[in-house]
Amino acid sequence: MRILLYTSPARGHLYPAMPIASELAARGHDTRVQTLAAEIDHVRAAGLDAAPIDPAIEAHAIVDWKQRLAPLAALSVLRTFARRSELEAPDLTRAIERDAPDVLLIDVNCWGAATAAEASGLPWAVYSPYLLPLRSREAPPFGLGLAPRSGPLGRARDVALGAVLSASFDRTAMPTINRLRTQLGLAPLPSYEAQLGRPHALLALTAEGFEYPRREWPTNVRFVGPMEWSPPQPAPPWLREMTDPLVLVTCSTERQRDKRLLHVALEALPPVGMAVLGTAAAHDPGEFAPPPGSRVERFVPHDHVLAGAACVVCHGGMGIVQKALAAEVPLVVVPFGRDQLDVACRVEEAQAGAQLSPRRLTPARLRQAVELAMTLRAGARRVSAAFAAAGGASAAADAVEGVVVGGGSDHTARTRA
């Protein structure tokens, strides 16, 4: 079987899909990855065929960090996805004509590619490295970082806010999506949630145990757990010299307003005997002044660090959060935007760490949050066990294979006992 995996131009969306692609290739399927140009060599080094997405798509970078107000930042991201989508649809169509795949696996952020996938008539699936923005009677709406609340008041809150948030999202997303659908001969859809009901399988790269429990999920949703992959890189020799307790402090690989987190951590933690290893990612490591015993690097393979880390301090991206929890390391999450409020709340609800608002980010408060998080390793272990039980790359590959022989793209709910 020939499989085409199509991603947005983001390492945080390519890397989680790589174990799925590798598992499918190991099962004998001819698997090609179409992704950002800078990662083509890494994909090929992993033994997979690879091709770049249209460079014009990459030219539309996410620039939400330029906005200080959260609603404007969210709108900026959605507009970027919309602009990309108009280029993705013809890009995927060309790839289908070139590669003649039997099944498609599409990044959830690729609205245009998803539309072209449906129009192709091929079996197709979508994967989501972040929490699914699906409304439920049993969980708070996605986007505000709300904790679950039971009772009539809680349900009323969730219904009202869910309707407002969904309407706001749909006003930005659906005109572009429906224009593409019309161009490709598909009927318009009433909402983005309906769009998520179209693929034969919707792979959620997380697990219940971290995601809020619900009895009802759409029939196409498959929880397969988080995937871990990064280009192979040896552990730096100096890592063995860092003392305990070691706190990993990470910034996002996509530029955000999160570098203050690393500045505050370097001020707060070393004076009380904690060694800080910071990964600056999208920021210049030279901007930081670590004291003796701490370091700041552009990037260090997190797998090597997590094996000895007492805590992770981060912005709340799903990648680092789930990687830390899979390694049974508790977190302090300081959410700066995007889906990070919802991720932070789930960490706290799972009793696997603490969250701290950026507005309250001071050395004293961060130090207290880290000390609290380090007492919550039992919660991190519970989440890690839930991740492992979800099946990982094997379960995801089963789901992709299953869309060829099964599937169904209705958005009805299944009820679990």
The residue ranges of every structural domain in the chain are 2-225+391-412, 237-387
**Cβ–Cβ < 8 Å for 120, 200:** no
Residue 65, pLDDT > 70, answer: no
Strands (DSSP E) along 274-308, which ranges?
275-279, 295-297
pLDDT of amino acid 407: 46
CATH fold match for the domains 2-225+391-412 and 237-387: yes
**Cβ–Cβ < 8 Å for 18, 205:** no
**CA nearest neighbour of 125 among 415, 398, 391:** 398
**What band does 159 get if pLDDT is binned at 50, 70 and 90?**
confident
**What band does 406 get if pLDDT is binned at 50, 70 and 90?**
low
The tens digit of pLDDT for each residue in 225-248 reads 999 898 988 889 999 889 899 999
Q: What is the mean pLDDT of residues 333-352?
A: 92
pLDDT of amino acid 150: 80
pLDDT of amino acid 414: 32
pLDDT of amino acid 417: 27
Residue 412, pLDDT > 60, answer: no
β-pair type (246-250, 309-314): parallel
β-pair type (246-250, 49-52): unpaired
pLDDT of amino acid 361: 95
d(CA 192, CA 197): 9
Name the residue type at position 48: L
The tens digit of pLDDT for each residue in 18-54 reads 999 999 999 999 999 999 999 999 999 999 999 999 9
Cβ contacts of residue 1 below 8 Å, gap of 6+?
29, 30, 102, 103, 401, 404
**pLDDT over 90 percentage in the chain:** 71
**Cβ–Cβ < 8 Å for 124, 106:** yes
pLDDT of amino acid 265: 96
pLDDT of amino acid 54: 96
Residue 138, pLDDT > 80, answer: yes
**Cβ–Cβ < 8 Å for 81, 111:** yes
Q: Which stretches within 212-328 are classed as H helix? A: 259-268, 302-306, 318-326
- Residue for token pair 């001071």: 362
pLDDT of amino acid 416: 29
SS3 279: strand
Residue 258, pLDDT > 90, answer: no
Length of the chain: 417
Strands (DSSP E) along 97-161, which ranges?
103-107, 124-128
SS3 107: strand
CB-neighbour burial class of residue 46 (10 A; exposed 0-12, middle 13-18, buried 19+):
middle
The CATH code that applies to domain 237-387 is: 3.40.50.2000
**C-alpha angle 163/168/173, rounded to 5°?**
120
Q: When comparing pLDDT for 193 and 158, which is higher?
A: 193
Residue 293, pLDDT > 70, answer: yes
pLDDT of amino acid 274: 96
pLDDT of amino acid 409: 39
Question: What is the token pair recorded at 312?
Answer: 């992770």
pLDDT of amino acid 339: 85
Partners of residue 353 on adjacent β-strands = 331
**Cβ–Cβ < 8 Å for 289, 266:** yes
CATH fit for domain 2-225+391-412, picks 1.20.1330.10, 3.40.50.2000, 3.40.50.2300, 3.40.50.1820: 3.40.50.2000
pLDDT of amino acid 413: 36
CB-neighbour burial class of residue 406 (10 A; exposed 0-12, middle 13-18, buried 19+):
exposed
The tens digit of pLDDT for each residue in 362-374 reads 999 999 999 999 9
Mean pLDDT of the chain, nearest integer: 91
The tens digit of pLDDT for each residue in 91-102 reads 999 999 999 999
Q: What is the mean pLDDT of residues 351-372?
A: 96
Partners of residue 32 on adjacent β-strands = 4, 49
Strands (DSSP E) along 149-270, which ranges?
201-204, 216-218, 221-223, 246-250
Residue 211, pLDDT > 60, answer: yes
